[in-house]
Structure 1
């Protein structure tokens, strides 16, 4: 599939089953409930703490469900997968571990670069310049590992093996075969589409009381289904 076909398919995909779209949206709402509570004027400490716990649980379920969306797309299936709370939760934990690993590596590299360039412990005269250089290098490193993480998740979804997400040699080969420019273009276009969708959803947020809830459901469901579908279709090219 061409990049335009992947994007077009992924935009239509969330609306292929409105019932499942609504269910995913409710889960997304629960995953973000800790942010919704303050907006609704809830300021009770105990309630906010419960909200954080609920958000964490459903965020993991949502993350694991996103993996199943990738798996469906890699297998060229068009239907939205069913929610499986237990398995989605377990997969969500695995996705979290993968994300942490692919965040820690560039963080450590950036820290080492900071030491090499003298940003850490540098005098006031040199620290601004040093951090400027590190900022550019850190951005490049984080983008590289973000690409690796995307392909790692796709490999994990396809193989259904946790270790597949850490086979750096094969991941690098997959990136070369897909094309790093194509992956970057997909990421940039996806971000633009998500921003546009967020702006549209924010209009609903203006509705008193229920607006923020409607907005969370709409944007939450769309982002999870659209973004993971796009990743899966991209990897299905291999």
Structure 2
């Protein structure tokens, strides 16, 4: 499918089955109660604890359902998946674990790079020197920074630059791999399939790296616009927040995950 076909299909998909869409909307509302109700003055601690637990459980179910939405796109199904809360809860946990793994790997590498370049050491020196300068009546930023040796500042600046570059590159690479791994998991139902890096790179090559990047940029721009609209709706007194959550957030999630599934339909 080309980009236009993916976007048009993903826009129509959420309302392909009104009943299932409304059920999904209800799940989003339930998931959001722990953050919405306090804004209306509901601050009972016991109720907050219960709602937080409910939010966690429902959020995992929603994530599991989104995995099935990806599968429906990859398989070419035209309607929303059926609800199977136990299955979707299990799939949600697996998807969450995959996301954590794909986050931990670049985070560990970035920490190693930061340590090797002297970022932590130079930052610690700057902090101690700044504290010492303030204890000696240095009362503005210019005076405090002047107390820091130039070599230490250069080491910190260079280390920070290198670490940020590495972190950004790793974030982009592992984000793309995470999307592809999630699709492999959605297709097979196997969490280990989402970690087969060689097959993941093969799938990315088959779809086309440029196509993946461009499509993701476009769908996230559309999602950002939808978020702005949801935010504006939320400004309506009393009911605005619920309207935005009940309609806008579910539509945006289904649109995003459907588009991702369609993107990898040929993989």
Q: Normalization by structure 2: what TM-score?
A: 0.85
Report the counterpart of residue 221 of structure 2 in structure 1. 192
Report the counterpart of residue 139 of structure 1 in structure 2. 168
Report the counterpart of residue 23 of structure 1 in structure 2. 23
1:175 aligns with 2:208: no
The 2-side partners of 1:52 and 1:127 are apart by 41
Give the root-mean-square deviation of aligned CA atoms: 1.4
1:93 aligns with 2:93: yes
The 1-side partners of 2:221 and 2:176 are apart by 17
Q: Which runs of 5+ in 1 are unaligned?
A: none
Q: 1:13-45 deviations in whole A, cap 9, x for unaligned?
A: 112222222211121122222221232222222
Could you tell me which of 209, 213, 216 is aligned with 2:245? 216
For the pair shown, which has the larger CA radius of gyration, 1 or 2?
2
Report the counterpart of residue 106 of structure 1 in structure 2. 106
1:156 aligns with 2:166: no
Deviation at 1:108, TM superposition (A): 0.5
Deviation at 1:166, TM superposition (A): 0.9
- The structure-2 alpha-carbon separation of the partners of 1:37 and 1:129, relative to structure 1 and needing over 3 Å to count, comes to farther
The 2-side partners of 1:146 and 1:37 are apart by 33
The 2-side partners of 1:103 and 1:50 are apart by 29
Instruction: Specify the SS of the correspondent of 1:233.
Output: helix
Counting matched residue pairs gives 238
Report the counterpart of residue 131 of structure 2 in structure 1. none
The 2-side partners of 1:151 and 1:139 are apart by 19
Q: 1:41-86 deviations in whole A, cap 9, x for unaligned?
A: 2222222222211110010000000011111111111010122111
Instruction: Specify the SS of the correspondent of 1:236.
Output: coil
**Is 130-139 or 90-99 further displaced after alignment?**
130-139
- The structure-2 alpha-carbon separation of the partners of 1:129 and 1:226, relative to structure 1 and needing over 3 Å to count, comes to same
Q: Normalization by structure 1: what TM-score?
A: 0.94
Deviation at 1:99, TM superposition (A): 0.5
> Which aligned pairs between 1:116-127 and structure 2 lie closer than 5 A?
116-122=116-122, 123-124=125-126, 125=153, 126-127=155-156
**Is 152-161 or 89-98 further displaced after alignment?**
152-161
Runs of 4+ deviating beyond 3 Å: none
Report the counterpart of residue 68 of structure 2 in structure 1. 68
**Is 150-159 or 180-189 further displaced after alignment?**
180-189
The 2-side partners of 1:55 and 1:129 are apart by 43
Q: Which runs of 5+ in 2 are unaligned?
A: 127-152
Deviation at 1:104, TM superposition (A): 0.4
Report the counterpart of residue 34 of structure 1 in structure 2. 34
